Amino acid sequence: MLIATYFGISLDNLIKGSVDIVKHQVDQSQFKKWLIIGGISWFLFSVAVPTRYLLDSGQAAMILWLLATPVAYSAFQILYILKNRELQTYADILNFLNPKKNVKTSIFSELWFVVSVIVIAFIIFFVGTVISALIFHY
């Protein structure tokens, strides 16, 4: 209350601004959390994919289904945050993650972002498959 009177603004405006800042910070932390969960789940899924030949088809299907569920759910959560925050470009995502810097990007950086995401997903899957082959090789 003292802050509102000191700066000459109403308490409603002070609280409204604080709510927007807190909501942005919560969305940032949720976005990062779901990215990490998705990456770890994708890695575990990639480790389990080659083992499908070692198990019965029903067991393998159930294990792969259980490991694919967190990957799909984290992707859904990430897309939900992107849609609610209206983040459509790489620059929008960078500005969302670091609002103090106003980032402008070119078409080449947008293309580089898409290609790097695809390559990183492939590398994670490849490393998981190699680790699975090393663990379950007999």
The pLDDT tens digits of the residues spanning 82-106 come to 877 776 666 767 676 677 777 677 7
CA distance 30 to 34: 6
Range from 11-20, 36-45, 61-70 carrying the lowest mean pLDDT: 11-20
pLDDT at position 36: 93
Residue 28 has pLDDT above 60, yes or no: yes
Dmax over Cα atoms in the chain, in whole Å?
Answer: 74
Residue 22: count other Cβ atoms within 10 Å of its Cβ: 10
- Non-local (6+) Cβ contacts of 131 within 8 A are 47
CB 95 within 8 A of CB 102: yes
The mean pLDDT value of the chain amounts to 79
Band of residue 37 on the pLDDT scale cut at 50, 70, 90? very high
CA distance 79 to 85: 10
CA distance 27 to 137: 42
The mean pLDDT of 2-10, rounded to a whole number, is 57
Question: In terms of pLDDT, which residue wins out, 46 or 95?
Answer: 46
CB 50 within 8 A of CB 136: yes
CB 49 within 8 A of CB 126: no
The pLDDT tens digits of the residues spanning 102-132 come to 767 777 877 888 888 899 999 999 999 899 8
